Amino acid sequence: MIPKNVFAFNDTSRSSIVMDIDSGRILYQKNANEKRLVASITKIMTATIALEKGNLNDVFVAGDEVLKMYGTNIYLEKGEEMKLQDLLYGLLLRSGNDAAVVIANNICSNEKEFVKLMNKKALEIGMTGTTYMNSHGLDEETKNYSTAHDMALLSSYIYRTSKEYRKITKTYKYEVQSNNKSYLWYNRNKFLKQYDYATGGKNGYTPSAGKTLVTTAEKYDLRLTAVTLKDANQYETHANLYDYLFEKYKSYTIVDKDNFEIKNNFYKDNLYLKKSFKYPLMEEEKSKIKTIVELNKIKNYKDGTKVGVVNVLLDNDKIGSVSVYIKKKAQKKKKFLFSS
């Protein structure tokens, strides 16, 4: 008999991870830095480049590249026209390989140049174990390698920064009309319908990579992303991981910008914070949190100058910081009396 609130499950993936989207804290991992083929979750990076480099209202034209695509497609025809926004739905909901290469060849002069942007972005995000060779994830001719950790970094990044990405990946059904036919697409990510707290994600599969899955979920003000690589029971694994971690962790506001006292004997003007700091903690970790204010003694400063930081420590390890700024008090205008 398993006691209440104690979870037992078997993680059947080859590699897996769960990360807090907002802080980047790793809440669970297994072989998370092992490089593996990632199949169609590649398209999360394809979408990232498209969202940052393209205009959603631009009309893209399908070229010869669609004739070479196989596997999952949205079945674009050569010469067919479609807005980038609609192509992104075809890319992320239906996992269209043809949508991927059309996006790549319209944003850049060719797919090779687009892939350079993918690899450059990966390094910017910190995805040091990732190498992209194509925009779609098929791996018979060229292969894309990444890690569960890197894919969690990417998922967290694009989920935080792109409202459009969040909107697309949580969409279950989408209808669109191109210049010559209409489409009705349903999201291939079954987790959206299977898990109450799911907010998005992308699945993938090739015989070599196995089943790959990136998902996002939110509960109790805690936003998490999970990644599994080569897992035949991926949806069950993700549900079990989320259930376990949503029970184990809660999001706490450790530094509240509207209610945080900073004691100092140097500055006469008001000190303030622009941001708060939240972090996922287990109940037993709450007593191990400390905040340390470090102020620089700056004599000549302007309104809004950064004058220090609030460091946040968990068990004496730094987990974050918040900048401290100064607001100069308004000077009273002197009154001058004139006599004639």
Indicate which residues carry an active-site annotation.
40, 43, 95
Nearest CA among 214, 205, 72 for reference residue 150: 214
User: What's the CA gap between 189 and 173, in Å, rounded?
Assistant: 11
User: What's the CA gap between 129 and 149, in Å, rounded?
Assistant: 9
* Cβ atoms 204, 231 nearer than 8 A: no
Element (H, E) at 230: none
User: What's the CA gap between 233 and 10, in Å, rounded?
Assistant: 10
User: What's the CA gap between 61 and 82, in Å, rounded?
Assistant: 7
DSSP state of 179: S
Residue 166, both tokens: 């969040």
User: What's the CA gap between 135 and 39, in Å, rounded?
Assistant: 10
User: What's the CA gap between 203 and 216, in Å, rounded?
Assistant: 12
DSSP E strands, the chain: 15-20, 26-30, 36-37, 59-61, 81-83, 145-146, 173-177, 182-186, 198-206, 210-219, 222-229, 250-255, 270-273, 277-281, 289-295, 306-314, 317-327
Residue 229, both tokens: 């690589």
